[in-house]
Structure 1
Amino acid sequence: MTIASVRIYFHAVTEARTRSLSSSHWGFAEWFSRRLRPIREQLRGPEAKGVDIMNLMLYEDPEHAWQPNQWHQRDNSFEFDFVCDLRPLEKSPAIENIQKLMHFYAEVSATAPWPQARAVAAALRQPLSDVDRITLLPYLQWPRGEMVSEAKARRVAANAA
């Protein structure tokens, strides 16, 4: 198979925080798929047989993390569980959180035992451009905002400069 989705899950100690973070950050996975297209061939291989998803699982309660600070294959996904305080994410805009989480996810992905997961690290390392920020913002809202095409985002970014 080919890794087709790169996701971040939030498991806070309160259901309200979990819902809040999930609804404001979940769209990242759908938006990020555009960064996987150019490296599609690197995301295939025998190591990824049956795997099409990469998950970064963020837990506040260490007892809920299955294998903290380790990569493992679980069903159709490569997964990394990390225990952290999710409260600071509530205080920052989702777009800022995503940029920080992408950087963290890139560092973690670079240590994965599978070449396909390590290939994703390069796509995660790319900072968000002005065009990326414009196209990503609608995905970080619930309900979803109006989608913005790459062409329109380029025009908006050029006019803002």
Structure 2
Amino acid sequence: AGVRHAFGVLSVHNMPLLDALARRDTVRYICARGEAGAVNMADAYARIQGQVGVAFTSTGAGAGNACGALIEASTAGTPLLHITGQVESAYLDKGLADVHEAKDQLAMLEAASKAALRVWSADTALGVFRQALQLAQTAPCGPVSIEIPIDIQGAVL
């Protein structure tokens, strides 16, 4: 059946993803007032529907705001995809404090999730999503975070 509902907070660092979601018109996107709420909504949806929950957040502080809810989903064993933005690829891991950049966002997400993955290019995006879905749904189930740099989000797959 696939994903039918996704929850999230709109941001400049995830707008291309949410625009693509809207163009497909197959997933109902439900806005939350905050990142923790979006992940909690996806967690509850997954538990009630017996499907993978999906939550979108922004990079940096937005991803950080999701961490408490990711830990709850992890503790509960909820299969969930947390999709977050990231700064442009050229600025990753350079410590330049680019707009909204967290010091080590991937490590932060690894601590709060079952796993945290990064999309390095448009060519690897589908493989990363397949891996994330498999990890989220393999016992012990849990949330998997995916970072997607803003310059890759608009690429054609």
Q: Would you call these one fold, judging by a TM-score over 0.5? A: no
TM-score, structure 2 normalization: 0.33
TM-score, structure 1 normalization: 0.32
**When you count helix as a share of all residues, which structure comes out higher?**
1
